[in-house]
Protein backbone atom coordinates (compact mmCIF):
# COMPACT_ATOMS: atom_id res chain seq x y z
CA UNK A 1 0.00 0.00 0.00
CA UNK A 2 1.43 3.39 -0.99
CA UNK A 3 2.13 6.01 1.63
CA UNK A 4 -0.26 8.89 2.14
CA UNK A 5 0.76 12.33 0.87
CA UNK A 6 1.06 14.59 3.90
CA UNK A 7 3.02 17.71 4.81
CA UNK A 8 6.15 17.88 6.88
CA UNK A 9 5.45 18.49 10.55
CA UNK A 10 7.47 20.44 13.07
CA UNK A 11 5.94 18.65 16.06
CA UNK A 12 4.43 15.26 16.70
CA UNK A 13 1.36 17.03 18.10
CA UNK A 14 0.74 18.63 14.70
CA UNK A 15 1.10 15.27 12.96
CA UNK A 16 -1.46 13.73 15.33
CA UNK A 17 -3.88 16.58 14.68
CA UNK A 18 -3.55 16.03 10.93
CA UNK A 19 -4.01 12.26 11.34
CA UNK A 20 -7.17 12.73 13.42
CA UNK A 21 -8.67 14.96 10.72
CA UNK A 22 -7.64 12.89 7.69
CA UNK A 23 -7.78 9.38 9.19
CA UNK A 24 -5.10 7.68 7.06
CA UNK A 25 -5.12 3.88 7.08
CA UNK A 26 -1.42 3.52 6.29
CA UNK A 27 1.78 5.14 7.49
CA UNK A 28 2.77 8.55 6.24
CA UNK A 29 5.99 9.20 4.37
CA UNK A 30 9.33 9.14 6.14
CA UNK A 31 9.51 12.90 5.61
CA UNK A 32 6.26 13.38 7.50
CA UNK A 33 7.25 10.92 10.24
CA UNK A 34 10.65 12.55 10.74
CA UNK A 35 9.18 14.88 13.36
CA UNK A 36 9.13 11.95 15.80
CA UNK A 37 12.90 11.71 15.45
CA UNK A 38 13.68 15.43 15.35
CA UNK A 39 11.09 16.92 17.72
CA UNK A 40 12.14 18.89 20.79
CA UNK A 41 9.06 17.63 22.66
CA UNK A 42 9.56 15.53 25.79
CA UNK A 43 10.11 11.77 25.38
CA UNK A 44 6.82 11.23 27.20
CA UNK A 45 4.90 13.43 24.74
CA UNK A 46 6.55 11.79 21.73
CA UNK A 47 5.77 8.32 23.09
CA UNK A 48 2.15 9.26 23.79
CA UNK A 49 1.75 10.69 20.28
CA UNK A 50 3.26 7.56 18.74
CA UNK A 51 0.43 5.60 20.39
CA UNK A 52 -2.11 8.00 18.92
CA UNK A 53 -0.49 7.61 15.49
CA UNK A 54 -0.42 3.80 15.78
CA UNK A 55 -4.13 3.81 16.58
CA UNK A 56 -4.70 4.90 12.95
CA UNK A 57 -1.89 3.22 11.03
CA UNK A 58 -0.84 0.18 13.08
CA UNK A 59 2.74 -1.08 13.34
CA UNK A 60 5.37 1.64 13.16
CA UNK A 61 8.63 -0.15 12.46
CA UNK A 62 11.79 -0.55 14.49
CA UNK A 63 13.00 3.04 14.40
CA UNK A 64 9.82 4.63 15.71
CA UNK A 65 9.08 1.73 18.06
CA UNK A 66 12.38 2.43 19.80
CA UNK A 67 10.91 5.78 20.90
CA UNK A 68 7.92 4.18 22.65
CA UNK A 69 8.63 4.30 26.38
CA UNK A 70 8.33 1.13 28.46
CA UNK A 71 5.21 2.40 30.23
CA UNK A 72 3.53 2.79 26.83
CA UNK A 73 4.58 -0.49 25.20
CA UNK A 74 1.43 -2.35 26.28
CA UNK A 75 -0.70 0.42 24.86
CA UNK A 76 1.27 0.36 21.62
CA UNK A 77 1.06 -3.43 21.27
CA UNK A 78 -2.69 -3.44 21.92
CA UNK A 79 -3.19 -0.87 19.15
CA UNK A 80 -1.10 -2.88 16.71
CA UNK A 81 -3.02 -6.07 17.51
CA UNK A 82 -6.38 -4.33 17.10
CA UNK A 83 -5.30 -3.37 13.60
CA UNK A 84 -4.40 -6.94 12.70
CA UNK A 85 -0.72 -6.87 13.60
CA UNK A 86 1.16 -8.97 16.15
CA UNK A 87 3.22 -8.38 19.27
CA UNK A 88 6.83 -8.30 18.14
CA UNK A 89 9.33 -9.92 20.48
CA UNK A 90 11.75 -7.04 19.87
CA UNK A 91 9.13 -4.73 21.40
CA UNK A 92 8.05 -7.01 24.23
CA UNK A 93 11.69 -7.63 25.11
CA UNK A 94 12.05 -3.99 26.14
CA UNK A 95 9.61 -4.44 29.01
CA UNK A 96 11.64 -4.99 32.17
CA UNK A 97 8.81 -4.95 34.73
CA UNK A 98 7.28 -8.41 35.04
CA UNK A 99 3.83 -7.22 36.11
CA UNK A 100 3.75 -4.93 33.09
CA UNK A 101 4.92 -7.73 30.80
CA UNK A 102 2.36 -10.20 32.12
CA UNK A 103 -0.35 -7.57 31.68
CA UNK A 104 0.25 -7.49 27.92
CA UNK A 105 -1.53 -10.86 27.83
CA UNK A 106 -4.82 -9.01 28.44
CA UNK A 107 -4.49 -7.67 24.89
CA UNK A 108 -2.65 -10.42 23.02
CA UNK A 109 -3.37 -13.62 24.93
CA UNK A 110 -0.55 -16.02 25.66
CA UNK A 111 2.87 -14.49 25.07
CA UNK A 112 5.63 -16.02 22.94
CA UNK A 113 7.54 -18.71 24.83
CA UNK A 114 10.69 -16.59 25.15
CA UNK A 115 8.73 -13.77 26.79
CA UNK A 116 6.64 -16.10 28.94
CA UNK A 117 9.87 -17.56 30.32
CA UNK A 118 10.81 -14.10 31.63
CA UNK A 119 7.81 -14.11 33.99
CA UNK A 120 9.22 -15.71 37.14
CA UNK A 121 7.91 -13.64 40.07
CA UNK A 122 4.78 -15.13 41.73
CA UNK A 123 2.67 -11.92 41.62
CA UNK A 124 3.47 -11.55 37.91
CA UNK A 125 2.65 -15.22 37.28
CA UNK A 126 -0.70 -14.72 39.04
CA UNK A 127 -1.36 -11.62 36.94
CA UNK A 128 -0.52 -13.59 33.80
CA UNK A 129 -2.85 -16.43 34.82
CA UNK A 130 -5.68 -13.96 35.35
CA UNK A 131 -5.48 -13.19 31.64
CA UNK A 132 -4.73 -16.61 30.10
CA UNK A 133 -6.02 -19.11 32.69
CA UNK A 134 -3.94 -22.04 34.01
CA UNK A 135 -0.22 -21.58 33.39
CA UNK A 136 2.45 -24.18 32.47
CA UNK A 137 3.76 -26.42 35.25
CA UNK A 138 7.12 -24.64 35.23
CA UNK A 139 5.33 -21.45 36.27
CA UNK A 140 3.23 -23.25 38.88
CA UNK A 141 6.46 -24.52 40.44
CA UNK A 142 7.66 -20.91 40.82
CA UNK A 143 4.30 -19.77 42.14
CA UNK A 144 4.42 -21.89 45.30
CA UNK A 145 7.03 -19.68 46.96
CA UNK A 146 4.28 -17.10 47.61
CA UNK A 147 1.18 -18.34 49.52
CA UNK A 148 -0.96 -15.31 48.63
CA UNK A 149 -0.25 -15.69 44.91
CA UNK A 150 -0.79 -19.44 45.17
CA UNK A 151 -4.23 -18.97 46.72
CA UNK A 152 -5.14 -16.42 44.03
CA UNK A 153 -4.12 -18.99 41.42
CA UNK A 154 -6.37 -21.62 43.02
CA UNK A 155 -9.28 -19.20 42.54
CA UNK A 156 -8.40 -19.07 38.85
CA UNK A 157 -8.34 -22.89 38.66
CA UNK A 158 -11.86 -22.92 40.14
CA UNK A 159 -13.09 -20.54 37.42
CA UNK A 160 -11.61 -22.81 34.78
CA UNK A 161 -12.99 -26.02 36.30
CA UNK A 162 -9.53 -27.36 37.13
CA UNK A 163 -10.19 -29.39 40.26
CA UNK A 164 -9.08 -31.19 42.37
CA UNK A 165 -6.21 -28.84 43.12
CA UNK A 166 -2.63 -30.08 42.68
CA UNK A 167 -1.27 -31.08 46.08
CA UNK A 168 1.94 -29.07 45.57
CA UNK A 169 -0.19 -25.90 45.46
CA UNK A 170 -2.14 -26.83 48.58
CA UNK A 171 1.03 -27.66 50.50
CA UNK A 172 2.34 -24.19 49.67
CA UNK A 173 -0.42 -22.82 51.94
CA UNK A 174 0.64 -24.75 55.07
CA UNK A 175 0.82 -22.32 57.99
CA UNK A 176 -0.82 -19.48 56.07
CA UNK A 177 -4.40 -19.81 57.27
CA UNK A 178 -5.95 -16.43 56.43
CA UNK A 179 -7.63 -17.90 53.33
CA UNK A 180 -8.47 -21.32 54.79
CA UNK A 181 -12.19 -20.60 55.28
CA UNK A 182 -12.58 -19.53 51.67
CA UNK A 183 -10.43 -22.46 50.54
CA UNK A 184 -12.56 -24.96 52.50
CA UNK A 185 -15.62 -23.47 50.84
CA UNK A 186 -14.03 -23.90 47.41
CA UNK A 187 -13.12 -27.49 48.24
CA UNK A 188 -16.58 -28.26 49.50
CA UNK A 189 -15.71 -29.15 53.09
CA UNK A 190 -12.82 -30.41 55.15
CA UNK A 191 -9.26 -29.40 54.35
CA UNK A 192 -6.44 -31.92 53.98
CA UNK A 193 -4.95 -32.82 57.39
CA UNK A 194 -1.66 -31.02 56.70
CA UNK A 195 -3.57 -27.74 56.22
CA UNK A 196 -6.06 -28.32 59.03
CA UNK A 197 -3.27 -28.99 61.52
CA UNK A 198 -1.44 -25.80 60.49
CA UNK A 199 -4.26 -23.48 61.58
CA UNK A 200 -2.79 -20.95 64.01
CA UNK A 201 -5.38 -18.16 64.17
CA UNK A 202 -8.05 -18.63 66.86
CA UNK A 203 -10.91 -17.14 64.85
CA UNK A 204 -10.04 -19.25 61.80
CA UNK A 205 -10.07 -22.34 64.00
CA UNK A 206 -13.51 -21.42 65.39
CA UNK A 207 -15.03 -20.59 61.98
CA UNK A 208 -13.60 -23.74 60.45
CA UNK A 209 -15.03 -25.94 63.21
CA UNK A 210 -18.47 -24.28 63.07
CA UNK A 211 -18.86 -24.12 59.32
CA UNK A 212 -17.11 -27.20 57.99
CA UNK A 213 -16.37 -29.75 60.71
CA UNK A 214 -19.66 -29.36 62.57
CA UNK A 215 -17.72 -30.80 65.47
CA UNK A 216 -14.50 -30.81 67.45
CA UNK A 217 -11.15 -29.80 66.02
CA UNK A 218 -8.05 -31.96 66.42
CA UNK A 219 -6.56 -31.31 69.87
CA UNK A 220 -3.48 -29.60 68.39
CA UNK A 221 -5.69 -27.07 66.62
CA UNK A 222 -7.94 -26.54 69.65
CA UNK A 223 -4.91 -25.37 71.61
CA UNK A 224 -4.39 -22.32 69.36
CA UNK A 225 -7.53 -20.79 70.87
CA UNK A 226 -5.82 -20.51 74.26
CA UNK A 227 -4.51 -17.12 73.12
CA UNK A 228 -8.04 -15.73 72.72
CA UNK A 229 -10.33 -16.72 75.58
CA UNK A 230 -13.45 -15.20 74.03
CA UNK A 231 -12.97 -17.35 70.94
CA UNK A 232 -12.37 -20.33 73.21
CA UNK A 233 -15.65 -19.69 75.06
CA UNK A 234 -17.52 -19.37 71.76
CA UNK A 235 -15.99 -22.67 70.74
CA UNK A 236 -17.15 -24.20 74.03
CA UNK A 237 -20.78 -23.19 73.48
CA UNK A 238 -21.04 -23.50 69.70
CA UNK A 239 -19.01 -26.66 69.13
CA UNK A 240 -18.00 -28.54 72.28
CA UNK A 241 -21.24 -28.45 74.22
CA UNK A 242 -23.63 -29.83 71.65
CA UNK A 243 -26.12 -31.47 74.06
CA UNK A 244 -23.77 -31.90 77.00
CA UNK A 245 -21.22 -29.88 78.98
CA UNK A 246 -19.34 -27.04 77.29
CA UNK A 247 -16.21 -27.86 79.30
CA UNK A 248 -13.15 -27.29 77.17
CA UNK A 249 -10.02 -29.46 77.11
CA UNK A 250 -7.77 -28.70 80.07
CA UNK A 251 -5.39 -26.36 78.21
CA UNK A 252 -8.23 -24.19 76.96
CA UNK A 253 -10.31 -24.48 80.12
CA UNK A 254 -7.41 -23.27 82.27
CA UNK A 255 -6.72 -20.41 79.85
CA UNK A 256 -10.33 -19.26 80.19
CA UNK A 257 -10.76 -19.53 83.96
CA UNK A 258 -7.31 -18.04 84.65
CA UNK A 259 -7.88 -15.11 82.29
CA UNK A 260 -7.31 -11.73 84.01
CA UNK A 261 -10.57 -10.49 82.51
CA UNK A 262 -12.56 -13.44 83.83
CA UNK A 263 -14.58 -11.65 86.52
CA UNK A 264 -15.43 -8.78 84.18
CA UNK A 265 -16.27 -10.82 81.10
CA UNK A 266 -19.88 -11.98 80.85
CA UNK A 267 -19.03 -14.73 78.36
CA UNK A 268 -16.44 -16.22 80.72
CA UNK A 269 -18.80 -15.99 83.72
CA UNK A 270 -21.51 -17.76 81.70
CA UNK A 271 -19.03 -20.44 80.67
CA UNK A 272 -17.99 -21.13 84.28
CA UNK A 273 -21.64 -21.31 85.38
CA UNK A 274 -22.52 -23.76 82.63
CA UNK A 275 -19.52 -25.96 83.39
CA UNK A 276 -20.43 -26.06 87.07
CA UNK A 277 -24.04 -26.88 86.19
CA UNK A 278 -23.41 -29.60 83.60
CA UNK A 279 -20.05 -31.13 84.38
CA UNK A 280 -18.90 -33.50 87.08
CA UNK A 281 -15.52 -31.81 87.07
CA UNK A 282 -15.19 -28.55 89.03
CA UNK A 283 -14.85 -25.33 87.14
Give the pLDDT score at 1. Answer: 47
d(CA 143, CA 120): 8
* Contact between residue 177 and residue 200 where contact means Cβ atoms under 8 Å apart: yes
d(C-alpha 128, C-alpha 130), whole Å: 5
Q: Are 202 and 228 in contact (CB under 8 A)?
A: yes
Q: pLDDT tens for the chain, 283 residues: list them.
A: 455 678 999 999 999 999 999 999 899 999 999 999 999 999 999 999 999 999 999 999 999 999 999 999 999 999 999 999 999 999 999 999 999 999 999 999 999 999 999 999 999 999 999 999 999 999 999 999 999 999 999 999 999 999 899 999 999 999 999 999 999 999 988 999 999 999 999 999 999 999 999 889 999 999 999 999 999 999 999 999 865 788 899 999 999 988 887 667 888 988 988 888 887 665 5
Q: So what's the pLDDT on residue 277?
A: 85
Length of the chain, please? 283
Distances from the Cα of 42 to the Cαs of 60, 68, 69, 249, in angstroms?
19, 12, 11, 71
Q: What is the pLDDT of residue 171?
A: 98
Residues paired with residue 28 on neighbouring β-strands, in sequence order: 4
CA 80 vs CA 77, 83, 108, 115: distances in Å: 5, 5, 10, 18
Distance CA(221)–CA(209), nearest Å, equals: 10
> pTM here?
0.85
Amino acid sequence: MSTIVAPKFRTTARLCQWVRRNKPQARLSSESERCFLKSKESPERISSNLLAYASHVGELGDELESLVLENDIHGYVSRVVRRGGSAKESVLGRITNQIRLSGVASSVGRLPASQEARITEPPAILNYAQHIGPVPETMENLLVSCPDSTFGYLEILVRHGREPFPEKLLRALVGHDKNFIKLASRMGGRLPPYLEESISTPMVALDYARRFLKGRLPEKVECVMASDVEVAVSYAFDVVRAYASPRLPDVLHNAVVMSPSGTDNSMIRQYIREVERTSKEPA
